[in-house]
Amino acid sequence: MTKLWGGRFKERTATDVEAYTQSISYDAALYAQDIRGSQAHARMLARQGVLTDEEAKQLVAGLDRIRSDIESGQFVWKPELEDVHMNIESRLTELVGDVGKKLHTGRSRNDQVALDFRLFVSDRLRVWRKLVVALVGVFLKRAREQQATLLPGCTHMQPAQPVSLAQHLLAYAWMFTRDAGRLADCERRVRISPLGAAALAGTTYPLDPASVAEELGMYGTFDNSMDAVSDRDFVIESLFCASTIMMHLSRFCEEIIYWANPSFGFVRLPDAYSTGSSIMPQKKNPDVAELMRGKVGRVYGDLTAMLTILKGLPLTYNRDLQEDKEPFLDADATVTASLSLMAGQLDALTFEAQRMHHALGLGFLNATELADYLVGKGIPFREAHHITGRAVALAEERGVRLEELPLADLDALCDRIGEDVYTVLNYDAAVARRNTSGGTGPVAVAAQMDKLERWLADNA
């Protein structure tokens, strides 16, 4: 077997070296992008008079045939041919004869692999973005159903103030809108064509990189050939986007996990998204949410791997860069599966409004209301805070809620408290009053939902 690069070699590559250096076991995933790129390159070579139109036609047709052979499972991948690029090129020459050997004119595997991977990554970023937008749609749908459901809003994981479940769910919807924005922004930098940079220094052939970029639907071409073949910061940014998506998913997973604990009982897990225990018959475990929370670790690992691979690499292409593919493929599989599973799980989740309402009474969540009420009666806020604290202590001592303290006892703490205090202590009223922009009040929540609806229409 002669390697495509074998001219100056006398001895064959050691078998374990072939196994160590090959990338075909994972970069075959880039076949469609490799073929698209090669076809655009061949057409450009013909436009520039480097190849004849007939030669370009033969190359394009041979590459079409290879694509359909790959897709029908007939293509034979050869590990000794190292990677996807040489597997396809060597098969092309078998199919179309010597003209196949002209495809690589004015091109190196260094700009070729950078092109293929940029196309691949940007194609995947578009897929992630669609999944993120779909998930925002599910958060919005569930929020619309839960405007009247109240639950304790927490700080420090301690009951703080009542909020609507809609407000809580919408907080996540907004996080994912930012993820979608990051993906779109990132994609503009990834989808830039490095073809024409050749090995590292550009080429002597009269290439037209801009027309290749345009044919491939890319946003532009490289500015510096050395940067073009050695840059992988586009992989780092993409993995950062994946990491942030996973981090957001895992925060909601954590809520699902503790909400499903019977001590809370705020949600009931759909059977399809939970599993049982082999020893404890009563168990219904939130495994999907737990695994998703756990898988954040591997995606952060993928990002860390890529940051580490690039650190200290001199210009230009170094074989280390071949290590860019597996972390990305791993993150891609994880983030796509997680996003679509979360959408399904959230859609099927049952919210237990009664349990949430019961929890409102457990942590003096209306204490701020009492303090604000006193301020309304002309008492300075610090003093109002202090009086309310004493009311909380009294209620706690008696094992009752604030609204269960008789007026006489409240009056003893501050004589400006009147019968109207009990309307203020009502939880629904507390939520209904918070209509400042972005707040949990129904008017403010409706405005958020309208804005999200418009965002979804713009990002469909």
Would you name the residues annotated as active-site residues? Answer: 156, 277
The span from the CA of 81 to the CA of 79, in Å, is: 5
Q: DSSP letters of 15-78?
A: HHHHHHH--HHHHGGGHHHHHHHHHHHHHHHHHTTSS-HHHHHHHHHHHHHHHHHHHTT-----
For residues 260 and 278, give the distance between their C-alpha atoms in angstroms, rounded to a whole number.
Answer: 19
Q: How far is the CB of 12 from ligand ARG (least distance, A)?
A: 17
Nearer to ligand ARG, 322 or 345 (CB): 322
Structure tokens at 398: 């008696």
Min CB(115)–ligand ARG separation in Å = 11
When the beta carbons of 7 and 262 are compared against ligand ARG, the nearer one is: 7
Q: Which is nearer to ligand ARG, 107 or 401 (CB)?
A: 107
Which one of 32-40, 50-58, 302-310, 316-324 is the stretch in contact with ligand ARG (CB under 6 A)?
316-324
Residue 109 CB, shortest distance to ligand ARG, in Å, is 4
Question: In this structure, are residues 152 and 359 in contact, taking their beta carbons and an 8 Å threshold?
Answer: yes
Binding to ligand ARG (CB under 6 A) within 85-144 occurs at 109-110, 113
320 within 8 A of 23, measured Cβ to Cβ: no
* Residue spans of beta strands (DSSP E) within 247-390: 267-268, 350-351
Q: Does 322 bind ligand ARG (CB under 6 A)?
A: yes
Query: Computed from CA positions of residues 127, 131, 132, 133, in that sequence, does the dihedral angle turn out positive or negative?
Result: positive
Instruction: Please state the closest distance from residue 217 (CB atom) to ligand ARG, in A.
Output: 23
Q: Which is nearer to ligand ARG, 322 or 334 (CB)?
A: 322
Q: Which helix (H) or strand (E) holds 161?
A: strand 158-164
Dist CA 70 CA 66 (whole Å): 6
Residue number with CB closer to ligand ARG (176 or 328): 328
Residue from 34, 83, 89, 231 binding ligand ARG (CB under 6 A): 83
For ligand ARG, which is the closer residue by CB, 108 or 250? Answer: 108
Tokens of 12: 């064959």
Is 317 one of the binding residues for ligand ARG (CB under 6 A)? yes
* CA nearest to 116, candidates 95, 136, 88, 92: 88
Q: Up-side HSE of residue 131: CA atoms within 13 Å toward CB?
A: 23
Report the residue number, 113 or 212, with the smaller CB distance to ligand ARG. 113
Specify the stretch interacting with ligand ARG by CB under 6 A; choose among 288-296, 318-326, 375-383, 429-437: 318-326
Over the window 24 to 43, marking each residue x when it contacts ligand ARG by CB under 6 A and - when it does not, the resulting string is: ---x----------------
Distances from the Cα of 175 to the Cα of 38, 132, 182, 267, 299, angstroms: 39, 10, 11, 22, 18
Which of residues 23 and 193 has its CB atom nearest to ligand ARG in the complex? 23
Q: How far is CA 118 from CA 213, 218, 238, in A?
A: 12, 10, 11
Among 23, 122, 193, 244, binds ligand ARG (CB under 6 A): 23
Instruction: Tell me the CA distances in angstroms from 446 to 67, 136, 319, one per residue in order.
Output: 50, 16, 54
Shortest reach from residue 303's CB to ligand ARG, in Å: 19
Instruction: With CB under 6 A as the rule, give the number of residues binding ligand ARG.
Output: 10
Provide the 8-state DSSP code for 436: S
- Is the CB of residue 36 less than 8 Å from the CB of residue 62? no
CB of 319 to ligand ARG, least distance (A): 6
Task: Give the shortest CB-341-to-ligand ARG separation in angstroms.
Answer: 30
CA distance 287 to 173: 23
Query: Which 167-226 residues touch ligand ARG, going by CB under 6 A?
Result: none
- If DSSP codes are grouped into helix, strand and coil, which group holds residue 157? coil
235 part of the interface to ligand ARG, by CB under 6 A: no
Q: What is the nearest approach in angstroms of ligand ARG to the Cβ of residue 84? A: 8
Distance of closest approach, residue 96 Cβ to ligand ARG, in angstroms: 23
Judged by CB under 6 A, which stretch of 246-254, 279-287, 299-307, 319-327 contacts ligand ARG? Answer: 319-327
* 8 A C-beta contact, residue 140 and residue 127: no
Which of 317/455 has CB closer to ligand ARG? 317
Q: Which residue ranges make up the site for ligand ARG (CB under 6 A)? A: 23, 27, 83, 109-110, 113, 317, 319, 321-322
